């Protein structure tokens, strides 16, 4: 892992006052936008982003420039939607970027909108981010006042209007088509695809949906170029990533690292686990992803290496569990989250997450039977790949990996008729 | 402003400001039904919850079926259709917070307040709710009081959430 001389995304860590327009401009803020408008045709920016190898930071890791180039080319106005509905358990990077470095997001949105020829952009921010909403309201007002937003941006032919839209508590709205439904004032049920957002997104317009962190990458990328971006990470996963490290570490927080850092390096940056304890397992990319046991800590975090190891980078929410963790309780809690957040539209997800939660609560309470493990895997198999949207798949990855890696611990709960680690789950038989 | 203050004979009344709030939401978001959620947020910021009259008003001013408004409101966990206490406490129960003791924290709060999760204390001071992941795992166990972050709150320090000076919903 190459050491960073400074932060490029978490810039506020180095530069105080960067959350204001004045502070951001003093640190060279909006010079990326100025350069984009003065020196680049829109398509040249798409090419630059393609050449940089930047991949979406929301979870799927799809190449950003390629996504932009899928936009329907039929003359209709386009739209950019920024997904600020960060809610994947273990992930809290976008919140920090929004609250402390809002102008880098706005500048990035302007660059992306210019590149995709979008006269309008929308930030969909989750309802719980009340402070983030206020910060963005102020930052958008500042940027408008200074002429970065509105008609004829900085005297050019490019006009742009930015809207801030507040969600109201629904994890599923982080799924891009559910987000678009919500943005249009409906229940956040996912849409049938195709048509994909690139053809019919918000209000039927060809739409790009990008994650906050993806967009925040654009200003330094325009200023420094594709090769600069490629100096970090790997050939297929270049660049920097903000990893949220939480759980049993002594310094939980966000860490900006090159994409070839290892999980072990991340855990060490976050202060390691408590004295006298060992790492038991790590979820590298948010609770939708399979866990990796301690033996795989030397896996690099690039997209390919984590897939090869049996998990995924996802949103970069790295949850560390030490040897005091009851893996059954952890799984029960995670699956319950998906049960609560399932939108109820499709049967495998709606019913399957209920069923798995019931069985897991029973297991954790010492009332399980040996057949329960087969039941869990069978239900998981009936959800995986069979749900309407990715939430169903997300609910089973961690559980299946936990049963595969820690089957003995599940069995102990059944044969011992209690949790060997003494864990207790609120709202279940053992609380 | 409470419904009692507005009412003439105890009958729940419409806030006269609702019309202008609905118009403002429509002006900013004229397409599809996008004006609905901003209007509902505005009302809930003012009153703490969405009483039935507010849903009637949303349907009326935004020209939507009443049933449509209800269906949207019921989808989103932050929209409240029951009276809410002066302070709404959300306890994050997701994995990182659970590893840090959120279950015991919630239990302690229930004991201290004498209510179960989802309920409001009889004096109207507190509403206790579970939260989905609050994207604040660095503050685990993380909570919000009237949507302002408080954390970390170790289980034994639950009193912090009850005593700490926090913003009320009026300035939220």
Give residues 249 to 268 of A whose Cβ lies within 8 Å of B: 252-254
| Strand pairing report for A240-247 and A317-322 | parallel
Task: Please answer yes or no on whether B147 and A130 come within 8 Å at the CB atom.
Answer: yes
- Going by C-alpha positions, the residue among A169, A180, A186 that lies closest to residue A206 is A180
Q: Does A285 touch chain B (CB under 8 A)?
A: no
Take residue B82 and report the two structure tokens written for it: 């029951």
pLDDT single digits (tens) A171-195: 999 999 999 999 999 999 999 999 9
Of the candidates A86, A89, A252, which has its C-beta nearest B94's C-beta? A89
pLDDT above 90 covers a percentage of chain B that reads 87
How far apart CA A285 and CA A316 sit, in angstroms, is 4
Cis peptide before A416 (omega within 30 of 0): no
CATH code of B55's domain: 1.10.10
Of the candidates A166, A248, A321, which has its C-beta nearest B37's C-beta? A166
Do B13 and B60 fall into the same domain? Answer: yes
Of the candidates B36, B93, B136, which has its C-beta nearest A92's C-beta? B136
Identify the domain boundary among B75, B107, B136: B75
Asked if residue B80 is part of any domain, the answer here is no
- Going by C-alpha positions, the residue among A57, A151, A166, A162 that lies closest to residue A120 is A162
pLDDT single digits (tens) A358-390: 999 999 999 999 999 999 999 999 999 999 999
How far apart CA A212 and CA A427 sit, in angstroms, is 35
Q: How many CB atoms lie within 10 A of CB A391?
A: 24
* Whether the Cβ atoms of residue A89 and residue A334 lie closer than 8 Å to each other: yes
Give residues 17 to 46 of B whose Cβ lies within 8 Å of A: 28-29, 31-38, 40-41
Residue A428 C-beta-side C-alpha neighbours within 13 Å: 23
Q: Tokens 């936990």 map to which residue?
A: A402
pLDDT single digits (tens) A295-311: 999 999 999 999 999 99
Identify the domain boundary among B51, B75, B99: B75
Give residues 368 to 427 of A whose Cβ lies within 8 Å of B: 424-427
Do B99 and B36 fall into the same domain? Answer: no
Task: Please answer yes or no on whether A252 and B96 come within 8 Å at the CB atom.
Answer: yes
Q: What is the CA radius of gyration of chain B?
A: 18
Q: Which domain holds residue B69?
A: 3-75
Asked if residue B171 is part of any domain, the answer here is no
Give the residue-averaged pLDDT of A334-353: 96
- Going by C-alpha positions, the residue among A122, A52, A141 that lies closest to residue A80 is A122
Task: Please answer yes or no on whether B95 and A171 come within 8 Å at the CB atom.
Answer: no
How far apart CA A192 and CA A406 sit, in angstroms, is 37
Give residues 90 to 109 of A whose Cβ lies within 8 Å of B: 90-92, 94-95
Q: Is B50 exposed, middle or buried (0-12, 13-18, 19+ CB in 10 A)?
A: buried
The pTM (predicted TM-score) of the whole model is 0.95
* DSSP, res A11: G
Cis peptide before B152 (omega within 30 of 0): yes
Do B98 and B154 fall into the same domain? Answer: yes
Confidence of residue A332 (pLDDT cuts 50, 70, 90): very high
Q: Does B72 touch chain A (CB under 8 A)?
A: yes
Spatial CB neighbours of B152, under 8 Å, sequence gap ≥ 6: B100, B139, B140, B141, B142
| Residue from A122, A172, A246 whose CB has the most chain B CBs within 10 Å, to mutate | A246
Q: Where are the alpha helices (DSSP H) in A53-147?
A: 64-69, 93-100, 102-115, 130-145
Take residue A16 and report the two structure tokens written for it: 């105080």
Do B69 and B23 fall into the same domain? Answer: yes
Identify the domain boundary among B75, B101, B120: B75
Do B116 and B148 fall into the same domain? Answer: yes
Number of domains making up chain B: 2
Query: Does the structure show a pLDDT above 80 at B1?
Result: no
How far apart CA A188 and CA A180 sit, in angstroms, is 8
Q: Tokens 């997904």 map to which residue?
A: A83
* Whether the Cβ atoms of residue A317 and residue A213 lie closer than 8 Å to each other: no
Confidence of residue A51 (pLDDT cuts 50, 70, 90): very high
Interface ipTM: 0.95
Take residue A431 and report the two structure tokens written for it: 């609380």
- Going by C-alpha positions, the residue among A314, A330, A310 that lies closest to residue A322 is A330
* DSSP, res A80: E
Do B70 and B127 fall into the same domain? Answer: no
How far apart CA A417 and CA A364 sit, in angstroms, is 9
């Amino acid at each position: 892992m190459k050491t960073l001389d400074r932060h490029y995304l978490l810039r506020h860590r180095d530069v105080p006052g960067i959350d204001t327009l004045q502070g951001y401009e003093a640190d060279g803020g909006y010079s990326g936008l100025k350069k984009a408008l003065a020196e680049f045709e829109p398509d040249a920016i798409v090419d630059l982003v393609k050449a940089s190898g930047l991949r979406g930071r929301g979870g799927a890791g799809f190449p950003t420039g390629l996504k932009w180039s899928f936009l329907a080319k039929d003359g209709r106005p386009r739209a950019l939607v920024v997904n600020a509905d960060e809610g994947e358990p273990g992930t809290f990077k976008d919140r920090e970027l929004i609250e402390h470095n809002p102008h880098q997001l706005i500048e990035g949105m302007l660059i992306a909108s210019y590149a995709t020829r979008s006269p309008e952009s929308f930030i969909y921010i989750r309802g719980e981010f009340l402070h983030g909403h206020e910060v963005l309201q102020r930052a958008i007002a500042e940027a408008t006042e200074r002429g970065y937003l509105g008609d004829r941006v900085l005297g050019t032919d490019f006009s742009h209007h930015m809207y801030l839209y507040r969600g109201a508590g629904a994890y599923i709205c982080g799924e891009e088509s559910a987000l678009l439904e919500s943005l249009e004032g409906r229940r956040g049920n996912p849409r049938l695809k195709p048509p994909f957002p690139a053809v019919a997104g918000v209000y039927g317009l060809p739409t790009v949906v990008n994650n906050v962190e993806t967009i925040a990458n654009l200003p330094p990328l325009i200023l420094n170029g594709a090769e600069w971006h490629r100096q970090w990470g790997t050939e297929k996963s270049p660049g920097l990533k903000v990893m949220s490290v939480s759980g049993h570490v002594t310094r939980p927080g966000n860490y900006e690292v090159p994409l070839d850092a290892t999980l072990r390096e991340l855990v060490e940056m976050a202060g390691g686990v408590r004295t006298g304890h060992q790492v038991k397992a790590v979820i590298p990319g948010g609770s939708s992803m399979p866990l990796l046991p301690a033996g795989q800590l030397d896996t690099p975090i690039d997209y390919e290496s984590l897939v090869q190891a049996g998990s995924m980078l996802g949103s970069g929410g790295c949850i560390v569990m030490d040897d005091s963790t009851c893996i059954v309780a952890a799984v029960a809690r995670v699956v319950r989250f998906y049960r609560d957040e399932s939108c109820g539209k499709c049967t495998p997800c709606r019913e399957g997450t209920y069923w798995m939660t019931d069985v897991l609560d029973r297991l954790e309470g010492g009332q399980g039977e040996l057949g329960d493990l087969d039941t869990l895997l069978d239900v998981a198999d009936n959800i995986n790949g069979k749900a309407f949207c990715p939430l169903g798949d997300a609910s089973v990855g961690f559980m299946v990996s936990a049963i595969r890696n820690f089957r003995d611990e599940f069995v102990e709960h059944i044969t011992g008729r209690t949790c060997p680690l003494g864990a207790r789950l609120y709202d279940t038989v053992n609380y | 402003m409470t419904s009692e203050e507005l009412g003439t004979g105890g009958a729940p009344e419409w806030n006269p400001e609702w019309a202008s709030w609905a118009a403002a939401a429509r002006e900013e978001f004229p397409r599809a039904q996008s004006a609905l959620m901003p209007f509902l947020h505005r009302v809930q910021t003012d009153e703490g919850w969405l009483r039935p009259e507010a849903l009637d008003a949303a349907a009326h001013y935004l020209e939507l079926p009443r049933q449509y408004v209800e269906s949207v409101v019921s989808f989103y966990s932050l929209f409240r259709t029951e009276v809410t206490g002066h302070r709404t406490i959300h306890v994050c129960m997701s994995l990182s917070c659970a590893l840090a003791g959120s279950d015991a924290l919630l239990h302690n709060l229930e004991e201290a307040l004498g209510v179960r999760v989802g309920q409001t204390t009889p004096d109207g001071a507190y509403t206790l709710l579970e939260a989905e992941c609050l994207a604040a795992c660095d503050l685990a166990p993380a909570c919000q009081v009237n949507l302002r972050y408080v954390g970390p709150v170790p289980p034994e320090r639950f009193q912090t959430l009850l005593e700490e000076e926090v913003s009320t919903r009026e300035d939220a």
